[in-house]
Amino acid sequence: MAKPAYETHEHDVIVIGAGGAGLRAAIEAAAQGVSVGLICKSLLGKAHTVMAEGGIAAALGNVWPEDNWQVHFRDTMRGGKMVNNWRMAQLHAQEAPDRVLELERWGALFDRTKDGLILQRDFGGHRYARLAHVGDRTGLELIRTLQYHAIHQGIDVYMECKIERLLKDGDRVAGAFGYWRNTGQFVLFKAKAVVLATGGIGKAWKITSNSWEYTGDGQSAALWAGADLIDMEFVQFHPTGMVWPPSVRGILVTEGVRGDGGTLKNNKGERFMFNYIPEFFKGETADNEKEADAWYDDKKNRRTPDLLPRDEVARAINSEVKAGRGSPHGGVLLDICTRRPADYIRKRLPSMYHQFKELAGVDITKEPMEVGPTCHYLMGGVRVDADTTQATVQGLFAAGEVAAGLHGSNRLGGNSLSDLVVFGRRAGLHAALYAKNLGGALSVNAAEIESVAQGMLEPFSRGGGENPYAIQADLQETMHALVGIIRTESEMREALRKIETLKDRAGKVHVDGGRIYNPGWHTALDLTSLLMVAECTTRAALERTESRGGHTRDDHPYTDDTWGTVNVVLRLRNGVVQVSREPLPEMPAELKALFQERK
Amino acid sequence: MPTFTMKVFRGGPTGGDFRDYRVEAEDGMVVLDLIHRIQATQAPDLACRWNCKAGKCGSCSAEIDGKPRLMCMTRMDIFEPGATVTVTPIRTFPIIRDLVCDVSYNYVKAKQVPPLRLKPPDADGKYRMMQEDVERAQEFHKCIECFLCQDVCHVIRDHEELKTSFSGPRFFIKAAGLDMHPLDTVDRTQFLRDQAGIGLCNITKCCTEVCPEHIHITDNGIIPMKERMADGFDPIVWLLRKFRGGRKEPA
């Protein structure tokens, strides 16, 4: 066979992924004066960040002057059930306000307080109203602001380009290899430093708020390049996704609905969250409706249990539905129409109003919404150094959802957008500094590239008759049924067996048609990484024999303190995923003191 | 469950034809669901763009029975059960394959819009803006860049020769959003006249009609910008502004 042809581009830094983290990283790297390439799997401005709705968390103190980074830090750690990387949580809480103000300087128009400052809204697990927002389309504002800032910074943008593999020169990263989706031709990027900003893995589950892009590309590429992954067992099921009609099942309903006064009810009309307040949050959560409702206006009251962290609310909804108290289509009811005036709802939640009206025929100012858990976010991912975001492979950096540590076992709403800009900036900065200090020429292994390219073309020529879409659907069913919100050892062992079978089938995928914009081929290529991350999550979930945050074991239903000091670490050695437990970095005394001060 | 005949354009830059696919639709399904069904069961290589499937990313623009729409927001129950539904790519832009077009024109135009330049902040280092004032610009920030307005704009659609000197409605409202930013200091008049070609727009409002975000592109964006341009050429208005101050600097 002829050698596969490919074009070559060379940069000091390449950033893979162009959502909030990737854009912010590219902007920062360019500001350091290095040459930057930004690679998007879709068109620029279409990444998953546009889907973020409720807001960006930052202790600006515009609404509650009592708020500060220490409170935000504490909320983040407690939300993550204390297995977060403390240093990441600290940097995040300290730097988020600056990053929000920077977005404002770059043109983001957040909703305002009466004094003309950035308005902040209540969200789950945040002690004070902390989320800067634009109605319920904050992610769109964030990505557009970064996108239109980035295009004037001399960054080379490569759209609809999918990276398949990272390349190394000895121990360090030297570039990446992939293909153009619209031509099917191969492309090599040589780079001194690579920033991964590829997002999550939600496409491995059936009911998900994630788009087709979320196939674990970055986590897999890092693993194949020798980097460690941690916390892969922690998968967040957002409590409120749409449940009806079936075609929209899983589409996100912002937590802002509850932040703005909405409440969850079962089919008996009961506000059931009062029955699910865990011991850990009892001191700060209202145990009666009167206090819960008063909390919205006066923070001297304890907060409503409707705004417990997402893991708690998702499990509660799951239990209500199982107990037969669900809504007609197997969710629960989210009611804002009896609690807030129609004008207020349309103004604060325009996109939810539009989404339910157009897709479900439901007027949320008049009727409750039907909602249920949907796979939403991966807390785990690439293990990084807190300050520099460097992975355990030299020259490889990671930021945003693909990186792990900040959120521990459960992410608070609003902490994702702030994560993107805080650690996106750090990734871009440190990747650029690393690239500047790296002397000498880079070399990549031509034979390795050739073999990757040949492998990518195989589905066209081989005889097997497997359909890539069918394998993806079977994987989604498997993960949903066996590695979902509630997990147990026997089911996860079965999942591993099924994943092995699916891998065999993926090796027999055949695709028809040519290389030009062929979604069947793209789906086939994405299967490799999707199966890899599905296996990683399952193995890590088997290892952690306790329940914590986004990892609930039916056979180990309690949180176990001995598990509160370790990460589950995954690495690939000789093609086999190895699982180990390694100690979490220990929090310094002055930060520990923040948890003793009050309830 | 009703079964529809989906008549889908299959082809590339040099031509193509329509193929019929019989597809069953379940409750609440949208055109994009049926396209995905065709991919999964009948034509795995059928090319289309999509991301969010919730009307937020603006990727799945197409012409459905000739009307420019988002496939993810077009419910099948608007058609008669069993009807034939025609899906073609947005026709103003060159076809790459099937339902996917080359929309790079828009990214070239995006870069030409003079970016924001803010006034200095207040003495305490903070920026203050009133909600009433940000709302005007916020309307334009709702744009999801689906480029349906660009697709129906007859200047772009019918006048290849004007492509270098015309930006289209998407970028008129981009400029309007920047201009109406309460703290912006840039004058985009020259850009709008010379590079964006706003004078070529004869306000037929086709763009406003197809906007899935219901942005009042013409009334709130293009017309005020055109009026401001007219003001700009009026020596008396110019003189008055000079005395009163507040005239923006050229980009």
Is residue A366 left, alpha or beta, with left meaning phi > 0 and alpha meaning psi from -120 to 50? alpha
Q: Looking at CA atoms only, how far is residue A125 from chain B in angstroms?
A: 26
Q: Is A258 part of the annotated catalytic residue set?
A: yes
- Chain-chain contact of B40 with A111 (C-beta, under 8 angstroms): no
**Is a pLDDT exceeding 90 seen at residue A132?**
yes
CA distance A482 to chain B (A): 24
**Tens digits of per-residue pLDDT, A232-253?**
999 999 999 999 998 899 999 9
Q: Which of A105, A109, A183, A208 to mutate to probe the B interface, most B CBs <10 Å?
A: A109
C-alpha pair distances (Å), A154 with each of A22, A29, A438, B114:
15, 11, 22, 15
- Reduced to 3 states (helix: H, G, I; strand: E, B; else coil), residue A7 is strand
Please name which of B176, B172, B161 lies closest in space to residue B196, comparing C-alpha atoms. Answer: B172
> CA of B226, closest CA in chain A: separation in Å?
23
In chain B the first and final C-alpha atoms are separated, in Å, by 58
Calculate mean pLDDT across residues A269-298.
95
Cβ-defined contact of B45 to A512 (cutoff 8 Å): yes
State the Cα torsion A353-A358-A361-A364 to the nearest 10°. 0
Q: Which residue of A has its CA nearest to B44?
A: A520
Q: List CB contacts (< 8 A) between A110 and chain B.
A: 134
Is B137 close to A109, i.e. CB distance below 8 A? Answer: yes
* Predicted local confidence at residue B234, as pLDDT: 53
- Partners of A144 on chain B (C-beta within 8 Å) are 141, 143
pLDDT, residue B239, reads 57
Determine the 3-state secondary structure of B248 from DSSP. coil
Determine whether the interchain pair B75/A359 forms a contact, defined as Cβ–Cβ distance below 8 Å: yes
Q: B residues 154-193 near A, CB within 8 Å?
A: 174, 178, 181
Q: Which of A251, A318, A193 is nearest to A48 (CA)?
A: A251
pLDDT higher than threshold 60 for residue B189: yes
Residue among B31, B8, B6, B30 at smallest CA distance from B82: B6
**Residue whose tokens read 């360090």:** A172
Report the chain A residue with the minimal C-alpha distance to residue B138. A109
Dist. CA A157–CA A18, nearest whole Å: 9
pLDDT beyond 80 at B249: no
Contact A517 B97 (CB under 8 A): yes
Give the strand pairing for A396-398 and A369-378.
Answer: unpaired
d(CA A497, CA A542): 13
Q: Which residues pair with B17 in a beta bridge?
A: B10
Distance CA A160, CA A518 (A): 12
Predicted TM-score of the model (pTM) = 0.95
B192-238 pLDDT per residue, tens: 999 999 999 999 999 999 999 999 999 999 999 998 887 655 555 45
Catalytic residue among A24, A92, A258, A539: A258
**Phi, psi of B94, rounded to the nearest 5 degrees:** -60, 140
Residue B245 has pLDDT above 70, yes or no: no
For residue A471, give the chain B residue with the closest CA: B40
Residue B244 distance to chain A (closest CA, Å) = 25
Q: In chain A, what percentage of residues exceed pLDDT 70?
A: 99
* B12: nearest CA partner in chain A: A516
Give A534-550 pLDDT, tens digit per residue.
Answer: 999 999 999 999 999 99
Of B215, B61, B140, B131, the residue nearest A141 (C-alpha): B140
List, in sequence order, the alpha helices (H) in chain B.
Answer: 31-41, 104-112, 131-141, 148-152, 154-158, 169-179, 189-190, 206-210, 223-232, 235-244
Which residue in chain B is spatially nearest to A512 when comparing CA positions? B45
Q: Do B129 and A248 touch (CB under 8 A)?
A: no
Contact (CB<8Å) B53/A514 = no
| Pair of tokens at residue B167 | 């930006």
Instruction: Indicate the burial class of A591 (C-beta count within 10 angstroms; 0-12, 13-18, 19 or more).
Output: middle
CA distances from B197 to A365, B162, B163, B200, B222 (A): 42, 9, 10, 6, 11
pLDDT range class, residue A274, cuts 50, 70, 90? very high
Instruction: Convert the pLDDT of each residue in B26-45 to its tens digit.
Output: 989 999 999 999 999 999 99
Rounded to whole angstroms, the Cα distance separating B48 from B22 reads 18
- Is residue B85 within 8 Å of B4, Cβ to Cβ? yes
If DSSP codes are grouped into helix, strand and coil, which group holds residue A509? strand
| ipTM of the prediction | 0.94
* Interior angle at CA A496, CA A494 and CA A501, nearest 5: 95
Q: A119 contacts in B (CB within 8 Å)? A: 131
Inspect the interface and report whether the beta carbons of B39 and A520 lie closer than 8 Å. yes
Catalytic residue among A92, A130, A165, A238: A238
> What's the rounded Cα separation, in Å, for the pair A144 and A166?
28
Chain A environment of B118 (Cβ under 8 Å): 105
3-state secondary structure A539-587: HHHHHCCCCECCEEECCCCCCCHHHHHEEEEEEEECCEEEEEEEECCCC
> How confident is the model over B90-115, as pLDDT tens digits?
999 999 999 999 999 999 999 999 99
| CA–CA distance, A79 with A73 (Å, rounded to integer) | 10
Which residues, other chains included, contact A17 with Cβ-Cβ below 8 Å and sequence gap of 6+? A39, A40, A41, A47, A196, A197, A198, A199, A218, A400, A402
From A141, A151, A358, residue closest to B111, measured CB to CB? A151
Write the pLDDT tens digit of every residue in A51-88. 999 999 999 999 999 999 999 999 999 999 999 999 99
Average pLDDT over residues B122-148: 96
Could you tell me if A533 and A548 are in contact, meaning their C-beta atoms sit under 8 angstroms apart? no
User: Is B97 at the interface with chain A, CB within 8 A?
Assistant: yes
When the pLDDT of each residue in chain B is averaged and rounded to a whole number, the result is: 92
Which of B59, B96, B110 lies nearest to residue A517, judging by beta carbons?
B96
The CA distance from A81 to the nearest CA of chain B, in Å, is 30
Active site residue A238: yes
User: Closest by alpha carbon to B61, among B185, B164, B211?
Assistant: B211
Across the interface, whether the CB atoms of B100 and A182 are under 8 A apart is answered yes
Locate tokens 């620029």: which residue?
A: A44
Mean pLDDT, residues A400-421 taken together? 98
- Residue B117 touches partner A, C-beta closer than 8 Å: no
Spatial distance between the Cα atoms of A558 and A564, rounded to a whole number of angstroms: 12
- 3-state SS class at A163: strand
> How close, in Å, is residue A19 to chain B by CA atoms?
12
- A552 beta partners: A486
Q: Do residue A359 and residue B30 have CB atoms under 8 angstroms apart?
A: yes
Q: What is the pLDDT of residues A28-47, one digit of tens each?
A: 999 999 999 999 999 999 99
pLDDT cut 90: percent of chain A above it? 96
Is the CB of A520 less than 8 angstroms away from the CB of B12?
no
* Number of inter-chain CB pairs under 8 A, A vs B: 162
**To 10 degrees, what angle do helices A415-437 and A20-31 make?**
30
Q: What is the model's pLDDT at position B247?
A: 46
- As a residue count, chain A comes to 599
- Report the gap between the CA of B51 and the closest CA in chain A (Å): 5
| B116 lies within 8 A of chain A by CB | yes
Provide the pLDDT for residue B240. Answer: 55
Residues of B in contact with A134 (CB under 8 A): 138, 141
- Distance between CA A484 and CA A480 in Å, rounded? 5
CB of B102 within 8 Å of a chain A CB? The answer is yes
Task: At A459, list the tokens.
Answer: 């589905």
Written as one string, the DSSP assignment of A79-106 is HTTT-S-HHHHHHHHHHHHHHHHHHHHT
Instruction: Answer yes or no: do A152 and B128 touch at CB < 8 A.
Output: no
Two structure tokens written together for A572 = 């690939």
Q: Are A491 and A483 in contact (CB under 8 A)?
A: yes
Window 33-52 of B: residues touching A by CB (8 A cutoff) are 33, 39-41, 44-52
Contact assessment for residue A368 and residue A41, using Cβ atoms and an 8 Å cutoff: no
The whole-number pLDDT of residue A599 equals 46
Considering only CA atoms, which of A194, A154, A140 is closest in space to residue A172? A194
SS3 A475: helix
DSSP A368: P
* Residue A333 φ then ψ, to 5°: -100, 135
